[in-house]
């Protein structure tokens, strides 16, 4: 019998989540702990960037086109031969782990986004197993547990909860629970934590709830809001100065992958009738900019190389007062391609008056520049990043005021 497809219809949120990951060569899956896996694409033993990229492309195809594991294995074999990779474990087991882990966690992360959008009308989650003889006893004990979507229990028990775990959650309203004969639990199941150890290194790992595999005791949906970008941005700033340029080579790859998902998110945010308080990455500081900011005594040193924007700010930048004349708004279509414009900006400046970075780029048919103002070390979604706070159109003569603006990169 042919292997079933995990998704015949592309799951946009799952694809976006997966594409926000950064390739991270590692010797072992346990080189990263828990929610760091929500931010990085890792294949244990794949230490070369090109090898990792080819495996990632095959997994991406599985998500976008619903390819079967048989098709994934064919791509895997081609990649192994191309790179001469000697991997550990049998082919069937290794490919199953890579395929299932990446596809199921991407689906779970995308599903969490959907849960947040409908939780006012469907505020409960139902834990469900695959209901067969392969289900683990502890997971069986959670079968049909009903809790509010915001209950802290989901911070550690939102599935998948281990290697090969097929558990899922379903949303529910009061009425749907009544139809199914289910009632919300008075309290969440008891969480008994056990100490875990990395068997390869002897490193003591964070305690994990009983019944959950080591490294799986986190909510992949919550961990994925800023995807791999937050972890990568902090890693860039904590790395030795001479290592930073090499790390930032990965940023260009990430920013190219970022654009399609950002465009869909931004379009949805601008069309929505309410602020959702969501934050998305739009890029990274270039090494030259970082060097200047680190060396400048009067400018705060960035804690992360990540640049973000919230839906609140995005909507503010196209507000009616901008279009009415109190400063011209950036065209909607231009905002939808913001990551690309930041990556290809004509100039990056330091605004001494606002104490912000300024990214400036040309727009066809306009004599003025598009600019966005980026505040250093702003807290977004509980994380420190360089945050786009406003933007608009500005005359080139204004940007040439050297008493106010210092060009850090490019030219005006």
Confidence check: pLDDT of 220 > 90: no
Domain count, the chain: 2
Same domain membership, residue 206 and residue 319: no
Same domain membership, residue 250 and residue 198: no
Same domain membership, residue 261 and residue 166: no
Same domain membership, residue 233 and residue 219: no
Same domain membership, residue 115 and residue 78: yes
- Is 127 a member of any domain? yes
Same domain membership, residue 46 and residue 162: yes
Q: For 202-206, 278-282, 291-295, 343-347, which range has the lowest pLDDT when averaged over its residues?
A: 202-206
Same domain membership, residue 340 and residue 249: yes
Sheet of 168-172, strand order: 146-148, 124-128, 168-172
- Render pLDDT for 154-194 as a digit per residue (tens, 0 to 9): 988 999 999 889 999 999 999 999 999 999 999 999 988 88
CA angle in degrees (0–180, nearest 5) for 9-74-96: 70
Look up the domain containing 282 and give its range.
229-410
Same domain membership, residue 278 and residue 205: no
**374 to each of 285, 296, 358, 378, 407, how far by Cα in Å?**
11, 17, 6, 9, 15
Q: Cα separation of 41 and 55, whole Å?
A: 10
Same domain membership, residue 218 and residue 244: no
- Is 257 a member of any domain? yes
- What is the pTM (predicted TM-score) of this model? 0.53
Same domain membership, residue 219 and residue 235: no
Same domain membership, residue 238 and residue 171: no
pLDDT for residue 153:
92
- Is 3 a member of any domain? no
Q: For 101-110, 191-200, 205-214, 383-392, which range has the lowest pLDDT when averaged over its residues?
A: 191-200
- Is 2 a member of any domain? no
Confidence check: pLDDT of 6 > 70: no
**Is the separation of the CB atoms in 266 and 240 below 8 Å?**
no
Enter the DSSP assignment of 376.
Answer: E
Same domain membership, residue 92 and residue 62: yes
- Is 245 a member of any domain? yes
State mean pLDDT over 103-121: 87
**Is the separation of the CB atoms in 200 and 28 below 8 Å?**
yes
Q: Cα separation of 337 and 266, whole Å?
A: 9
- Render pLDDT for 33-58 as a digit per residue (tens, 0 to 9): 444 455 556 566 565 666 777 788 88
């Amino acid at each position: 019998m042919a292997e079933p497809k995990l998704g015949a219809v592309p799951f946009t949120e799952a694809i976006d989540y997966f594409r926000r990951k950064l390739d991270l060569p590692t010797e072992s899956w346990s080189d990263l702990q828990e929610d760091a896996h929500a931010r990085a694409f890792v294949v244990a033993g794949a230490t070369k960037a090109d090898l990792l990229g080819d495996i990632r492309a095959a997994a991406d195809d599985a998500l976008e086109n619903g390819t079967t594991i048989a098709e994934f294995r064919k791509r895997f074999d081609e990649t192994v031969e191309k790179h001469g990779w000697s991997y550990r474990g049998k082919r069937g087991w290794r490919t199953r782990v890579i395929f299932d882990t990446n596809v199921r966690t991407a689906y779970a992360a995308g599903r969490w986004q959907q849960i947040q959008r409908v939780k006012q009308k469907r505020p409960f989650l139902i834990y469900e197993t695959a209901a067969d003889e392969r289900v683990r006893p502890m997971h069986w004990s959670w079968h049909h547990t009903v809790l509010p979507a915001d209950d802290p229990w989901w911070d550690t028990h939102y599935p998948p909860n281990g290697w090969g775990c097929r558990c899922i959650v379903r949303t529910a309203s009061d009425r749907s629970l009544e139809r199914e004969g289910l009632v919300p639990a008075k309290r969440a199941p008891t969480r008994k934590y056990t100490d875990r150890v990395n068997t390869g290194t002897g490193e003591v790992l964070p305690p994990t709830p009983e019944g959950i595999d080591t490294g799986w005791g986190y909510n992949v949906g919550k961990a994925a809001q800023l995807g791999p970008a937050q972890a990568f941005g902090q890693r860039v700033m904590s790395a030795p100065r001479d290592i930073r340029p090499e790390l930032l080579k990965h940023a260009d790859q990430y920013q190219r992958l970022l654009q399609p998902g950002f465009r869909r998110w931004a379009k949805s945010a601008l069309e929505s009738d309410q602020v959702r308080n969501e934050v998305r990455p739009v890029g990274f500081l270039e090494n030259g900019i970082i060097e200047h900011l680190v060396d400048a005594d009067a400018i705060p040193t960035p804690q992360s190389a990540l640049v973000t924007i919230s839906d609140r700010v995005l909507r503010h930048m196209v507000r009616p007062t901008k279009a009415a004349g109190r400063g011209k708004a950036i065209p909607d279509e231009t905002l939808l391609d913001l990551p690309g414009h930041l990556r290809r900006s004509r100039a990056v400046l330091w605004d001494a008056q606002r104490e912000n970075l300024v990214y400036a780029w040309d727009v066809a048919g306009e004599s003025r520049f598009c600019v966005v103002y980026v505040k250093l070390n702003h807290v977004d979604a509980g994380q420190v990043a360089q945050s786009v706070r406003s933007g608009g159109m500005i005359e080139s003569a204004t940007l040439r005021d050297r008493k106010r603006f210092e060009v850090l990169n490019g030219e005006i």
